[in-house]
Amino acid sequence: MTPSMDAVRRLVRQALAEDGGTGDATTSAVVPLAARARGLFLAKQDLVIAGLAVARETFLAADPEILWEELEEDGAQLAAGRMIARVTGSAHSLLRAERVALNFLQRMSGVATLTRRFVDAVAGTRARIRDTRKTTPLLRELEKYAVVVGGGELHRKALDQAILVKDNHVRLAGSVAEAARRAREGSRGLLVEVEVEQVGQIEAALAAGADMLLLDNFTPELARAGVTLVRGRVPVEASGGIRLDNVRAYAEAGVDFIAVGALTHSAPAADISLEIEPT
């Protein structure tokens, strides 16, 4: 998955407009208009880098004459202190783009870094780490790209890409069986995944035609029982209450996928700095 560069440029323009207002009052007061500068992006922690193209487009949107030099590639696992990229050009332009570029780069690298930690935690099992739709509004494409950079896999990008029957659908339909039956009849060829909240709902979901099961808020022990009951008839996904300290237990229960909302809704921003000096 690669983000649409047209979408990236639209986001960058909006972010620069939000951040700049009517102009950078501090830079205008302190830095001569003709000043030239160079900046160096540095990793301040161990991280997986993601979002270099977005950072580059931020600087080019601020000033097409800025020179951007990448020293690493998205997906690289960097130790604290590693140089990531260089920018050279008008000091005013570098300062205009600095914060916005860092915001994108830190956010996306934070998602990629957390994803890699989850992927590493289940290494050697059959389980694959997937994201959810718990993304920052309007940043979904960037955050899902960062998940892939971190080694994770994508769930639905949008509501039209698959059917996922969840607890609210079940309550509105009256039962898991009825919700799954309606989903199967109205699927129009889309994959039908059905969320179950207890082992006793599994057979009803399968009988109604579920292509995949989501075990919601199961303990690892109950997840193992659910996998045993399914007997490989459909893929099984676990979700809910899954953390770095327990994700391997779910993987060892035999599930095929583990959906982790924290990848995008709770990933801390990676610590990256941009150090600018005159040239």
Residues tagged active-site: 99, 134, 166, 195, 216
Pairing of strands 47-48, 257-259: unpaired
CB-CB contact of 108 with 264 (8 Å): no
Neighbours of 143 (CB within 10 A): 25
Place of tokens 């700095």: 273
82, β-bridge pairs: none
Distance (Å, rounded) from C-alpha 152 to C-alpha 130? Answer: 6
Place of tokens 């327990």: 246
Integer angstrom CA distances of residue 180 from 28, 173, 226: 61, 9, 18
Place of tokens 């956010």: 107
